[in-house]
Structure 1
Amino acid sequence: MKRLMSGNEAIARGAYEAGVTVAAAYPGTPSTEILENIIEYKDCIYSEWAPNEKVAAEVAIGASIGGARSLAAMKHVGVNVAADPIFTYAYLGVNGGFVLVSADDPSMHSSQNEQDNRYYAKFAKMAMVEPSDSQECKDFLKEAYRVSEKYDTPILFRVTTRICHSKSIVELGEREDVEVKPYVKNIPKYVAAPANAKLAHARVEKRLLELEEYSNQSPLNRIEYNNKKIGIISSGIAYQYAKEVFGEDASYLKLGFTYPLPMKLIKEFSENVEELYVIEELEPYIEEQIKAAGIKCIGKEVIPKLYELNPEIIAKAILGKTYESKTLDVEVVPRPPVLCPGCPHRGFFYTMSKKKNRVITGDIGCYTLGANQPLEAMDTCICMGAGFSAGMGISKAFEVSGKKDKVFGVVGDSTFFHSGITGAIDIVYNKGNMVPVVLDNRITGMTGHQENPGTGRTLMGEPTTEIDVVEVLKAIGYKTVKVVDPCDLKAMENTVKEAEEATEPYAIVTKRPCVLIKGLPAPKNKCIVDRDKCKKCRMCLKVGCPAVFFKDGKSYIEQSMCVGCEVCMQVCKFDAIGRVGE
C-alpha cells in the first residue's frame, strides 16, 4: 500500500514498522508532527510529551537500556538541551536500539538560529543517518535501528524543515516483530563513573572504525554514475536539489549514512569523475572531512553557507545559470507576524509598554511577538527559560550600576515547565530584584496546541495530574503569587504596580486560555466602533490587534476577526468602542 506522507509522518510510520516501543519528545517546529503521528500507533507504541528535550532523551535512553527500541524527537536547538545525556549515552551504548531525531531549520523559519546538527554526531561520536525524502525517512529509520543494535551505538537521525514538511509517496510495510530485549544489570556498561567511562571511550573509538567500514558498504550510501565530467557528493534535501539541476549530466555519490563518512567510497568516486563538487546546506561538514583526507573538491567556495539551498541557487553557483522570471507589478503589503486577535498576552504586553523604565526579558513562544510594533514590550529573547535567568542577570547588573529600572522576566506555561522553574528558583534563592511572569494560556501555543504538564491531559489523550503553576511558585518561595486576567487592563496595571513596589519575592501568573483552543465557549458579543464618537486619536491601534485598523480616516473593527476580548474598548477614552447589540 502506498500513501502520500510528509517526512514527519513517514518517520512516525518508520518507528512503527521498526518495532519501536517507546517514544518521547518536546514539541518544536519542524519536529512536532512526529510524535503527533506516532500516537496513531498507540496500541503498540507508548508516547509522551516530556517537559523538555533533556527529559525526552532520558526517557528514551532509559527505555533503550530497559531493552525497548526507543525514539526521542526534537528540533535542532532542542538537541542543545538534550546534549548532556546524549554525549554520555554515546559512550555507554544501547540495549534496545535508540534513535535521536534532530529536525534542523535552515533559514530559521521558526527558530532563533540555524545551527547544523550534523556536527553533534561527530562531536558525540555517534552514528548519523540523513534521509532525503519521505520514503527514505521511513526506510532509513528501520535501518538505523538495526545499525544501533549491531554496533551498540545511538543514532542521530538528522532531517531538515523541507524533509519534515514536504510530502512524497511512501510504500508502507508491516511492523517488525521485535521483542523487548531482556534487561541485565551491567554496572560497568551503564554507570558512567570515570573508571568505567575511560574504558567506554576506548570502545567508542573501536566502534567508530567498525562503523566506517559499515559506511563504505551501507545501502544508505550509493554511487550513481552518469556523465563523469561532474561528480557531486551530497546528502539530504541538497541531493534532491542537485538532481533537479544536473539530472543525468552529472554523477552522484548520494550519502545517507553520514557519520562516520565512507572515505573509501568517497575516494573511489572522486577518482572516477573529472571535477568534484560537494553540495550541502549550511556548514561544510562533508567538505571539511573530504579536504582533510587530501581529496580535491569544490564546496563552499561557490555554495552559500547561509540559509536554505534551492535548485536556482545551485544552478547559479556552479553553472552560472539563471532562471527566467517575471516581475508582477503588484504592491505587496508587508504582513509581519502578530499576536492573534483576542490573544490573552496582548493585555499584558500593552500594560508593560506604557512605561519605559521596565525591562522585559522574554522567551521562546508565540508571546515573543510582544517584541514587535506597536507593543515593543520585550527587550531580549535568547532561549527556553532565559526569560527568567537572563532577567536575573540584568537585574544584578542594574544593582551593581545603581540603575533603578525594574526587570520583569516572561515565560509561557509550557516554557515554565520546560526550563523556567529553575530560573524562578534562582531568583528567589539569590535574592533577585525582579518579577517572574508566567503567561498561562492553558496550552503549548506556538507549536500548534500540544498538551503540557499544566493542561491535565497527556499526549495519548489520557487525563492526568494537572501541575499548578501558582502552587509551584509558592512552593519554591514566592510570598505573593498574583493571578490576573491579562485582558482586564485595570487589574493588570494594578498588579504590575504592586509587583514593582514589592519588597519580598513576588510573581505574576496571567491566566486566560488561548482563543484558538478547541471546545472553548463561544466568545461574547464582538466589539464595534461608533464612528460618530471616534476622535481619530489612534489609541486603539496601540494594542496591535489585527482586527482593529483605520478605515476612511476613522477606527474600524473587522467583525470576522474580532473575538470580543475588550482590550481595545478599555483603551478608548471616548467610549467610541462598544459591543455589538448593546
Structure 2
Amino acid sequence: MKKLFLGNEAVARGLYEAGCRVISSYPGTPSTEITEYAATYDEMYSEWAPNEKVACEVAIGASMGGARAFSAMKHVGLNVAADPLYTASYTGVNGGLVIAVADDPGMHSSQNEQDSRHHAIASKIPMLEPADSAECLAFTKRAFELSEEYDTPFFIRLCTRISHSRSLVETTDRVEPPLKEYVKNPAKNVMMPAMARGRHVFVEKRMKALAEFAEFCDLNRTEYYDTSIGIIASGASYQYAKEALGENASYLKLGMVNPLPVKLIEDFAAKCDKVYVVEELDDIIETHCRKFGISVIGKELFPLTGELSQAIVAEKILGEEKQTLSLKDEIPVRPPVMCCGCPHRGLFYALKRENVFVSGDIGCYTLGSQPPLSAIDTCVCMGASVSGLHGFNTARGAEQAKKAVAVIGDSTFIHSGITSLIDIAYNKGISTIVILDNSITGMTGHQQNPTTGYTIKGDPTAAVSLEKLVQAVGIHRVRVVDPYDLKETQKALKEELAVEEPSVIIARRPCALLKYVKHKPSLKVDREKCRSCKACLRIGCPAISMREGKAVIDHTQCVGCGLCEDLCKFGAIVGGEADK
C-alpha cells in the first residue's frame, strides 16, 4: 500500500516492519516524531527516557537481550549518548541495534550545526543516510539486517528536511524475528581493558569488511546522464543537486556514508569530466576523495555553514541564478516569542527587574533572551545553566552570587540538571536555581517526562516530585511560586538571592497551550484611561500592540493571565471583551 509519510513517520514504519521490539528515546527536534509515531504501534514497546544516554543504554541492553532495538535523538543528543555508543561499537550486538540521529543544518531549532558523520567515523559505527521517506523506511529495515550480519550498531542519519518532508512510501507487513538467545560472553560484552583490546581488533576487521561491502551494495548507486558534470552526494544534498541539474549531470548517490567506498568513487570520477562533491556542513566525502587522490571540487564552492538548496547548487555549478519562491525580502522579520499566557514570561520579567545575571538553558524559556525581556545572558547545552552558574559564582565570589541565577525547565532538569545541582550542594555552592515547571516538555511539542505522571502512551505512572528530589540531593531552601503572581515571584527571588547558601525556586504553572488548562476571559484596554506609556509592552506579549497611540489587546490571543494588568499603573487594562 502506498502512503504519503513524513521522513520520521517512515522511519517509525520501518521499525514496525523490521520487527523492532524496544524503542527508547529523548525528544529533540527534528527527531521527535519518530518515537511518537512508533508509540502508535502496540507491537513495539516505546518510552521517553530521561536523556539520550539513558535511552541509548536501554536500547543497548535490549539488543544484548536478543531484541531488535532502537533509539532516536537529535545531533546534540548524540553527544550525550556518545559514551555508551562508542563502547557499544566494541561489544557489537545480539539483536539488531539502530540509532537514528537527526542533524539540523541551518539551525532551525538547535544551538549548533554539528555534523554527526564525525561521530560515525570516530566511533567506527556504520551510517546510512536516506534521501526521502521511501528510503527512510527501507534503510531502517536494512540497517537492522546489516547490524545483525556485521555485529555492529548502525546509524541512520537524517536532517531537518528529510525528517519533516513528505513523500510516497510503500508499506508491507511486519516481520517477527524471534528473540535471539542470550549467551554469557564476557569477552564480548564486558569492556574492561583486557577484553576491549581484542574487540578493537574485531572492530577494525569489521570496518574493513563494511568498506568492501560499500563498493558493491545497492545502498550506493550511480546514475549516468551527461558525464561532463559528475555529482557525488547523499541525503538531502542529492535531492538538491538532482532538482537543480536534472539530466545535465551524472550522479553517485551514497546511501552509506560510513564507511565510504573508494573504487566506486574512482570509477565514477573516471567517467566524468569534472566531479563535484555536494554535501551540507563539513567536507567528509570531499576529504575522503582527496585522501585517495580523487580530484573533486567541494568546499571551495559550497559553504561550510547552513543548508544547501537547488538555487545554491545551480548557481555554484552552472553559474545560473534560479528563481525561487522566497518572501524573505518582502516581509518583516518575525523572531520567535513566548506564547500568550506563557508562564515563563512573568518569571523573566521579575528577573529583568532584579537586574541579575541569568545562566540559561535549552527550552521554550531560552526565548527569554529576546527583547523586550532580554533576561538571559548565556545558553550552552542541556543542564549547563546550573553547573555554569556554579562556575560563574565560584569565579566571581559571593557578592556576585547575590545577583545571579540559573533557569532550567522541568524536563531539562531531569535530563541533566540533577547532577549539576548535586555538584553545587556537595561543593558548598551558594547559587540560586529557578526550575521553570510548566508540567510538560514544551519546546519539542508537549511530550511527557518523568515529572508529569504519564508515559508516552498517556498511561498514568510514577511522577518525580521536584521538591523532594531537590531536597534529597542536599538543598534545604526550596520554595514554589506561581509565575503569574509577580509580587510573590519578585519576593522569592529577593529572599533567595540574599542568603549565602544554595536554594531552588520552582516556578510552577502549566504551559498555556496544554489542552486541560482553563483560561480566564480575555482582557481589554479602556482607551480613556490608557496613557500610552507602553508599560504593558515590556513583557513582550504577542497579544498586546499599539493602535492609534493606544494599547490594544487581541482577544483572539489573550488568555487573561493578568500580567499586563499588574503592570498598568492607570487601571486601563480590565476584564471583558477585547477592543475591536
For 2:527, the equivalent position in structure 1 comes to 531
- Contact kept? 2:393, 2:401, Cα under 8 Å: no
**C-alpha distance 537-115 of structure 1, shift in aligned 2 (>3 A):** same
Q: SS at the partner of 1:253?
A: strand
- The reply on whether 1:578 has 2:574 as its aligned counterpart is yes
**C-alpha distance 204-331 of structure 1, shift in aligned 2 (>3 A):** closer
1 CA distance for matches of 2:577 and 2:231? 68
2 CA distance for matches of 1:213 and 1:403? 59
Determine which of 424, 444, 454 is the counterpart of 1:447: 444
For 1:361, the equivalent position in structure 2 comes to 359
Please state how far the C-alpha of 1:282 moved relative to its aligned partner: 0.8
For 1:321, the equivalent position in structure 2 comes to 320
For 2:41, the equivalent position in structure 1 comes to 41
Q: SS at the partner of 1:428?
A: helix
Determine which of 542, 546, 549 is the counterpart of 1:546: 542
Please state how far the C-alpha of 1:504 moved relative to its aligned partner: 3.0
Please state how far the C-alpha of 1:136 moved relative to its aligned partner: 0.3
1:439 partner letter: L
- Contact kept? 1:347, 1:487, Cα under 8 Å: yes
For 2:558, the equivalent position in structure 1 comes to 562
Please state how far the C-alpha of 1:433 moved relative to its aligned partner: 2.1
- The reply on whether 1:517 has 2:514 as its aligned counterpart is yes
For 2:393, the equivalent position in structure 1 comes to 395
Please state how far the C-alpha of 1:127 moved relative to its aligned partner: 0.7
- Contact kept? 1:407, 1:433, Cα under 8 Å: no
Please state how far the C-alpha of 1:329 moved relative to its aligned partner: 12
Please state how far the C-alpha of 1:325 moved relative to its aligned partner: 6.2
**C-alpha distance 325-27 of structure 1, shift in aligned 2 (>3 A):** closer
For 1:376, the equivalent position in structure 2 comes to 374
The equivalences for 1:143-542 within 5 A come to: 143-324=142-323, 332-356=331-355, 358-399=356-397, 403=400, 405-521=402-518, 523-542=519-538
Please state how far the C-alpha of 1:330 moved relative to its aligned partner: 8.5
Unaligned runs of 5+ in 2: none
For 1:17, the equivalent position in structure 2 comes to 17
2 CA distance for matches of 1:410 and 1:537? 30
Between the two proteins, what is the percent identity of the paired residues? 52
Please state how far the C-alpha of 1:525 moved relative to its aligned partner: 2.2
**C-alpha distance 30-227 of structure 1, shift in aligned 2 (>3 A):** same
- Contact kept? 1:103, 1:160, Cα under 8 Å: yes
2 CA distance for matches of 1:233 and 1:326? 27
Q: SS at the partner of 2:373?
A: coil
**C-alpha distance 136-340 of structure 1, shift in aligned 2 (>3 A):** same
**C-alpha distance 124-326 of structure 1, shift in aligned 2 (>3 A):** closer
2 CA distance for matches of 1:128 and 1:420? 31
- Number of matched pairs: 578
2 CA distance for matches of 1:55 and 1:581? 49
RMSD after superposition: 1.5
Q: SS at the partner of 2:349?
A: helix
1:372 partner letter: Q
TM-score (norm 2): 0.98
1:43-70, Cα deviation, whole Å (9 max, x unpaired): x110000000001100001000101101
**C-alpha distance 388-293 of structure 1, shift in aligned 2 (>3 A):** same
2 CA distance for matches of 1:405 and 1:472? 24
2 CA distance for matches of 1:345 and 1:325? 38
2 CA distance for matches of 1:98 and 1:119? 19
Please state how far the C-alpha of 1:503 moved relative to its aligned partner: 2.9
- Contact kept? 2:60, 2:88, Cα under 8 Å: yes
For 2:85, the equivalent position in structure 1 comes to 86
Please state how far the C-alpha of 1:405 moved relative to its aligned partner: 5.0
- Contact kept? 2:524, 2:576, Cα under 8 Å: yes
- Contact kept? 2:401, 2:497, Cα under 8 Å: no
**C-alpha distance 204-483 of structure 1, shift in aligned 2 (>3 A):** same
For 1:3, the equivalent position in structure 2 comes to 3
**C-alpha distance 381-329 of structure 1, shift in aligned 2 (>3 A):** closer
1:376-415, Cα deviation, whole Å (9 max, x unpaired): 1111011000110111111111118x64652211100000
Unaligned runs of 5+ in 1: none
1:470-503, Cα deviation, whole Å (9 max, x unpaired): 1101111111211000010010011001111123
Please state how far the C-alpha of 1:226 moved relative to its aligned partner: 1.5
Please state how far the C-alpha of 1:219 moved relative to its aligned partner: 1.1
- Contact kept? 1:395, 1:406, Cα under 8 Å: no
**C-alpha distance 508-276 of structure 1, shift in aligned 2 (>3 A):** same
2 CA distance for matches of 1:371 and 1:187? 50
**C-alpha distance 328-150 of structure 1, shift in aligned 2 (>3 A):** closer
- Contact kept? 1:477, 1:505, Cα under 8 Å: no
- Contact kept? 1:53, 1:78, Cα under 8 Å: yes
**C-alpha distance 278-330 of structure 1, shift in aligned 2 (>3 A):** closer
Please state how far the C-alpha of 1:272 moved relative to its aligned partner: 1.5
